[in-house]
Structure 1
């Protein structure tokens, strides 16, 4: 067997084809897992704080353009008030 035959064996080509066919499926599964968020009802979201606990000092909160503007949450879907609260609250350290 010469160098060219060792470099491009049928077995290696088949392995690369099998790997190439699975990559789009893995990408789809990963993006679905990242996109999954919980509804506001499930986490009992409300627009009022629970004492000193509020979305603006939660690690899951993604702030809006200003400090008073609604933002987003890594866990809960929809617009989130900085003064809101839910059971997924986790304080920033």
Structure 2
């Protein structure tokens, strides 16, 4: 019993331990949220993506499209995974206002 009573916890060691526990809790949450956002995108096949437009409807005119470095470079999409052609089309097409 004397060894339990002889160990005193200082405020500094308590705060260090609390900070360590808090950081351990944050890391899995950060990893999970990153994986969840990637999993939220649909596959190109599921959205019937094609590299050519459907009439005047093309990805470069869609609100979901995120352009590449140049006007002709492939970009990305907020809804569909993978590289997306600016002249492409899919079921998620929504015209820019």
TM-score with structure 1 setting the length:
0.72
Q: Any runs of at least 4 consecutive aligned residues in structure 1 with deviations exceeding 3 A, and if so which?
A: 11-18
Q: Whose Rg is larger?
A: 2
1:13-92 equivalences in 2 (<5 Å): 16-36=19-39, 37-92=41-96
Tell me how far apart the structure 2 counterparts of residues 25 and 68 of structure 1 sit (CA, whole Å): 39
Kindly provide the CA deviation profile for residues 25-71 of structure 1, in whole angstroms up to 9, marking residues without a partner as x.
11011111222232110100012222322100111111122212222
TM-score with structure 2 setting the length:
0.69
Which blocks of at least 5 consecutive residues in structure 2 are unaligned? 1-10
Which blocks of at least 5 consecutive residues in structure 1 are unaligned? 1-7
Tell me how far apart the structure 2 counterparts of residues 41 and 62 of structure 1 sit (CA, whole Å): 19
Tell me how far apart the structure 2 counterparts of residues 20 and 67 of structure 1 sit (CA, whole Å): 42
Distance 1:16 1:69, change over 3 A: closer
